[in-house]
Amino acid sequence: MCDNHHTHDTSPHKGIEHEGHDLEHKKWSRRSFVQALGIAGSGSMFLGSNLISASAPSPLTAAVAAAETDNILVLIRLSGGNDGLSTVIPIQQYDSYANARPNIYIPESKVLKLTDDFGVPTYMSALEPLWGDGQFKAVHGVGYENQSLSHFTGSDIFANTDLETTGFSGENTGWMGRHFEDLYPDYLINPPASPAAIQIGNLSNLVFQGEETNYAFVTNNVDQLEQIAQTGLFYDVDAETPFDNCMYGDQLRFLRGVANTTYEYAGTIHEAYMAGQNQVEYQDNGFARQLALLARLIKGNLGTKVYMISLGGFDTHGNQPEVHERLMSNLSVAINNFYEDLAFTEQDDNVLSMTFSEFGRRIFENGSNGTDHGKAAPTLFFGSGLSGSAFVGDHPSLDEPNNRGNLEYTMDFRNLYGTVLAEWLCVPRASVEKHLLGHPYQAIDLGFNCSGETFDDIAMDNDPPILPETPPSQDPNDPNIDILDGIVHTPYYPQSSAPHIHLEMPVSAHVDIELFNILGQRVGTLYNQIMLEGELDINIREQMRDSLSTGKYIYRISVGDKKMSKSVMIS
Among 66, 542, 556, smallest CA distance to 303 is for: 66
Three state DSSP letters for 420-445: HHHHHCCCCHHHHHHHCCCCCCCCCC
Calpha distance 36→23 (Å, rounded)? 18
- pLDDT confidence tier of residue 482, bands split at 50, 70 and 90: very low
**Most confident option among 32-36, 225-229, 260-264:** 225-229
Calpha distance 84→453 (Å, rounded)? 30
What is the pLDDT at residue 508?
Answer: 85
Beta-carbon contacts of residue 483 (< 8 Å; ≥ 6 apart): none
Q: Which residues pair with 566 in a beta bridge?
A: 555
What is the pLDDT at residue 12?
Answer: 34
- pLDDT confidence tier of residue 474, bands split at 50, 70 and 90: very low
User: Is the per-residue pLDDT at 471 higher than 80?
Assistant: no
Calpha distance 216→427 (Å, rounded)? 19
- pLDDT confidence tier of residue 240, bands split at 50, 70 and 90: low
Determine the 3-state secondary structure of 88 from DSSP: coil
- pLDDT confidence tier of residue 551, bands split at 50, 70 and 90: confident
User: Is the per-residue pLDDT at 31 higher than 50?
Assistant: no
H or E element in which residue 33 lies: helix 32-36
What is the pLDDT at residue 518?
Answer: 67
Q: What mean pLDDT is predicted for residues 166-172?
A: 84
Q: Say if pTM beats, i.e. exceeds, 0.75.
A: no
Q: Tens digit of pLDDT for each residue in 139-168? A: 999 999 999 999 999 999 999 999 999 877
- Say what angle helices 286-299 and 264-275 make with each other, to 10 degrees: 90
Pairing of strands 197-200, 216-219: parallel
pLDDT mean across residues, the chain? 82
What is the pLDDT at residue 377?
Answer: 97
Calpha distance 204→197 (Å, rounded)? 16
Domains and CATH numbers, the chain: 21-444 (no CATH), 479-570 (2.60.40.3080)
- Cite the DSSP H helix spans in 372-469: 413-419, 429-435
Q: Which residues pair with 500 in a beta bridge?
A: 492, 539
What is the pLDDT at residue 567?
Answer: 76
Among 329, 332, 331, 309, smallest CA distance to 321 is for: 329
User: Is the per-residue pLDDT at 36 higher than 80?
Assistant: no
In 171-292, at which residue ranges do the beta strands (DSSP E only) sit?
A: 197-200, 216-219
> Are 246 and 3 contacting, i.e. CB atoms less than 8 angstroms apart?
yes
